[in-house]
Structure 1
Amino acid sequence: MSIQSLGVGSGLDLEGLVRNLLAAERGPKEQRLNAREETLDQEISALGRVKSKLSEFEDAMKALQESDNLSGRDPQIDNPSESNEPITASPGNSAVTGEYQIAVEQLARGSRIETADAAFADSDAVVLSSGTADLTFKIGNTGDTFTISVAAGTTLEELRQQINDDENNFGVSANIINTGTAAGGSKLVFTSNVSGLGNDLQIVNDNDNAELNALSTSNSTETTTYLTPTLSAQNAIATVDNIRVESDTNKFENTIQNVRFDAKSLSDRDANGDPIASKLTIGFDTENLKENIDTFIEKYNSLVDELDRLTRYGETDEDEDGALAGDSMVRGIQQGLSTLLGNSVPGSTIGSLFALGIELTADGKLEIGSTDFGLGSGSKRLDDALADNFDDVAKLFSGEDGMATQLIAFTEEYTQGSSLIKSREDSIKEQQGNLETEREQFELRMESLESTLRARYLSLDSTIADLQNTGNALFAALGN
């Protein structure tokens, strides 16, 4: 008798027996594999958080390395009236602090040329009836130039568009103004944005075409004058502490050493017609530097909190340990950072974070100290350093031996390229791969065990079924 389903022949629950034997074999091993997988997943996730927090701290330190953040100057402008702001200012990091009285008396501008009254009836008027001829637009002092070729039948409107669209146009704008009268007609107006005294726009009639004289300032040899500027180009004029200064643009570069100020509008004038100066004060940008120091402290403390959370041991059996509890690499990060933060910095008159008012607390965090150690509280030390030694604060953080430089070099050992954290992550990923292989091998062993058990109990089922059939036959014979 062939029996294919366990228990059918014998009536015993052999199928349940096989399932229980397989479960007993699978359970402990599968629990160990699952626990190991969970541990590896938690560890690689924790390492990712460590690297992320270290990177955030690096960004805060890099901000303290940048000269604009460390040595910045803060321009303050007091204008005579709130409705008029004649100047803006941008000091360089080496600008000398001080106050300056600045008044804008004239703004720089480019030149303007208009065609004569009634030269053209309207925008559809043809500027050249036959042939072709060239017009060259140029600024003699600067060397700016471009040339257009005017074709027969070109209208005033088409010429305007051709000028504005020329790829070599250096800043000439052509516009049509319709005067609304026969006496005025339509005027073509040329405006140049090249400012500065003597930088008037010139339009040269290269081929001395008589029709184009109406659009030109001179003939080909520039010996004959046709149109003249209705507005001449001019310099910007200002006074700095009553000293007259000029610029061919509205930007005054290094008129005050390492300071640029831009003329935006004319200064207001008093009852006598004299310009009223705005006061420009160049000071240290202490607020920006303070903000960067606060961010440095905040990001460090956030890093400490994360490392403490990941490395903590549970206080009770029910309280889980951190994913990196007892991890030697993380302990190395904590110890290395705290050591560097407590070091002195050579070449800085301030010397240390403590002298700047930044202290390490008992739980390993940074704060602006509140205790007076005979040197004033941390806040006072910081304010005094920014007021009296602002540029020396930069040396504390930047430079080859600066605090930020040392800290970045240390953290990059864990975050950059083939770093220590990257090596750990690679090792964990390799273990995860091995674990997956172990799972596959375990499943193969379980399949083999199930086949063995089923074959064994199938044979038992068949034997019992045969015995039962024999017994039934005997009982039947005896009964007869």
Structure 2
Amino acid sequence: MPLITQAGIGSGLDLEQIIEASVQAENAPKMQSFIQRDERLQVELSSIGAVKSALSQLKDTIEKLADPENFNKRLADISQPASGDIISVSPSSDISPGNFNVEVQQLAQGSRAMSGAGAFADNTSVVSASGGTLSFAAGDKSFDLTLDAGATLSDLRDAINNSDANFGVTANIINTGSEAKLVLTSSETGVGNDLVITNDNAELDAVSTIANGGGAGGMSIAAGDEAKDAKITVDGIEIVNDSNVFKDAVQGMTITAKQVSAAGESADINVSVDRESVTKLVDKLIEDYNNLVGTIAYHTSYDEERQVGLRGDATMRSLSDQLVSVLSSELTDAGPFTSIFDIGLGVDKKGYLEKSSIVRSLNEAMDTNYDDIGKAFAGENGVAKKLDELLGSFVDSGGILKTREQDINNQIDELEDDVLDHQYRMGELETRLRKQYSNLDVLLAQMSSTQQYLGAQLASLPGFTSGKSSS
């Protein structure tokens, strides 16, 4: 008998449907269980991710509140004179608030050297027929420059300006109409830092301030073009500096002189604590803390219309309890503040942080004990440092939520392997059923063939008649 390639062809029975129904009966409940488990894991993973994101955002703000420098910032308000801006200032956290009057008497300048009369006809004039080396120095800075034989005045200018070793000497050529003059300007300011140029070849004396054999060279610094100090007065006290930047002329503040004061004019500086930046930080703390509280509530509270990934989760309960505990912790070394609730913060019935004035407002606390607010948050026993440690235990590498995410991802990977294993088993089941039903199909087909054969043989026997009678 030929091979039967489709179940039921030999017997006429719908064996394909029987096989499919048998496999589906075994497969459907298990696959539904896999799908439900995957959905639960994905929802839980998404919820953990949302809480971790809110925690990280809060931690960023807490890190700023834990930094004492953010409570020590200073603002400097400058009233410039009518003639224009004569100074700029940069206060540090070391300066005490106060008022200062500043006058600029003299700006610092570098020296300016010029070649002598009749030294060069024009910019193509040869500086040295045989070449040589020029050495430039001002204060503690120096560099050397080697010229080729036949170098012109223009070649010298370009070599100075393009030298990588140049500490701040600028070369220019001024054409008077009858001659060319080399002008060298040094950026090194301060009395005693005049530009000095020496050489190793007397042919270069015309572009040096000191001749090769000693004595004056052809370049000279005119009266008034020498390097100078800057001079300012602060509250009538004269201060001299070799540059226009006066660091700690007033302790903790840098004053930069920009132009000389007009007669009788000065600038007034008012230095105050930067209360606005602290207020913004506290507002951001409230915003980020409440975002975390709301995120935890959303992902743990019962909702019949959606899956809740962390409903009844012990980790979330522990986190919420620890947050409240740290916020309520007792402060030390923070002046009159025994907790952050003493500086104008409070917690409502739902656990959200808010500004409150039951004890005192934040502005009142700043008015009376500004420095202690910084200690309340960023002190050794400050709330921000405790919160930062707590949040880090959840979101840092190796933290609770990081580990939780990894565990869920591992479960999802294992579930994918379980699905593949199950699909393999279902394939094996279908193969086994097809083999069993194929044998049945062959058997039934053989029986049908035998029945037909016997019927034909009986019909051919003499005197054999069918069971039907003629009417």
Q: TM-score, normalised by structure 1?
A: 0.90
User: 2:81 and 2:159 mapped to 1: Cα distance?
Assistant: 46
1:264 Cα offset (Å): 1.8
User: 2:444 and 2:98 mapped to 1: Cα distance?
Assistant: 109
2:106 match: 106
1:417 Cα offset (Å): 2.3
Q: Secondary structure at the match of 2:220?
A: coil
1:360 match: 347
2:395–2:401 CA contact under 8 A, matched in 1: yes
2:208 match: 216
Q: Secondary structure at the match of 1:121?
A: coil
User: 2:316 and 2:122 mapped to 1: Cα distance?
Assistant: 82
User: 1:213 and 1:325 mapped to 2: Cα distance?
Assistant: 90
Q: Aligned in 2, Cα 1:222/1:291: closer, same or farther, shift over 3 Å?
A: farther
1:440 match: 420
2:198 match: 204
Which one is further off, 158-167 or 84-93? 158-167
Asked if 1:278 corresponds to 2:283, the answer is: no
Q: Aligned in 2, Cα 1:165/1:111: closer, same or farther, shift over 3 Å?
A: same
1:97–1:283 CA contact under 8 A, matched in 2: yes
Alignment partner for residue 328 of structure 1, among 314, 320, 337?
Answer: 314
Asked if 1:133 corresponds to 2:125, the answer is: no
1:229 match: 221
What residue identity is the alignment partner of 2:124? Answer: D
2:115–2:218 CA contact under 8 A, matched in 1: no
Asked if 1:348 corresponds to 2:345, the answer is: no
User: 1:447 and 1:312 mapped to 2: Cα distance?
Assistant: 42
What residue identity is the alignment partner of 1:255? Answer: A
1:238–1:246 CA contact under 8 A, matched in 2: yes
1:247 Cα offset (Å): 1.5
What residue identity is the alignment partner of 1:423? Answer: T
What residue identity is the alignment partner of 1:410? Answer: L
1:244 Cα offset (Å): 2.2
What residue identity is the alignment partner of 2:164? Answer: E
User: 2:420 and 2:252 mapped to 1: Cα distance?
Assistant: 71
Instruction: In structure 1, list runs of 5 or more residues that go unmatched.
Output: none
What residue identity is the alignment partner of 1:459? Answer: N
1:112 Cα offset (Å): 1.2
User: 2:23 and 2:200 mapped to 1: Cα distance?
Assistant: 101
Alignment partner for residue 472 of structure 1, among 432, 452, 456?
Answer: 452
Structure 1 residues 420-468: Cα deviation after superposition (integer angstroms, max 9, x where no partner): 1222223223322322222222122111110111111112222222222
1:478 Cα offset (Å): 5.2
Give the percent of matched residue pairs that are identical in Structure 1 and Structure 2: 35
1:78 match: 79
Asked if 1:194 corresponds to 2:191, the answer is: no
1:382 Cα offset (Å): 0.8
1:477 Cα offset (Å): 4.6
What residue identity is the alignment partner of 1:31? Answer: Q
User: 1:17 and 1:121 mapped to 2: Cα distance?
Assistant: 113
Alignment partner for residue 244 of structure 2, among 246, 250, 273?
Answer: 250
Alignment partner for residue 391 of structure 1, among 371, 374, 379?
Answer: 371
Alignment of 1:20-39 (within 5 A): 20-39=21-40
What residue identity is the alignment partner of 2:318? Answer: G
2:101–2:267 CA contact under 8 A, matched in 1: yes
User: 1:109 and 1:283 mapped to 2: Cα distance?
Assistant: 32
1:50 match: 51
Alignment partner for residue 408 of structure 2, among 416, 428, 436?
Answer: 428
2:463 match: none
What residue identity is the alignment partner of 2:269? Answer: L
1:127–1:154 CA contact under 8 A, matched in 2: yes
1:204–1:222 CA contact under 8 A, matched in 2: no
Which one is further off, 323-332 or 41-50? 41-50
1:237–1:244 CA contact under 8 A, matched in 2: yes
Which one is further off, 352-361 or 153-162? 153-162
Which one is further off, 469-478 or 109-118? 469-478
1:33 Cα offset (Å): 1.0
Alignment of 1:85-104 (within 5 A): 85-104=85-104
1:469 Cα offset (Å): 2.3
User: 2:380 and 2:74 mapped to 1: Cα distance?
Assistant: 23
Q: TM-score, normalised by structure 2?
A: 0.92
Asked if 1:150 corresponds to 2:147, the answer is: yes
For the pair shown, the structure with the greater C-alpha radius of gyration is 2
Structure 1 residues 205-256: Cα deviation after superposition (integer angstroms, max 9, x where no partner): 344x1x3121111124653353222421111222212222222111111111
Aligned length: 456
1:194 Cα offset (Å): 0.7
Structure 1 residues 34-56: Cα deviation after superposition (integer angstroms, max 9, x where no partner): 21122222222322222222111
Q: Secondary structure at the match of 2:219?
A: coil
1:462 match: 442
1:414 Cα offset (Å): 1.0
Instruction: In structure 2, list runs of 5 or more residues that go unmatched.
Output: 461-471
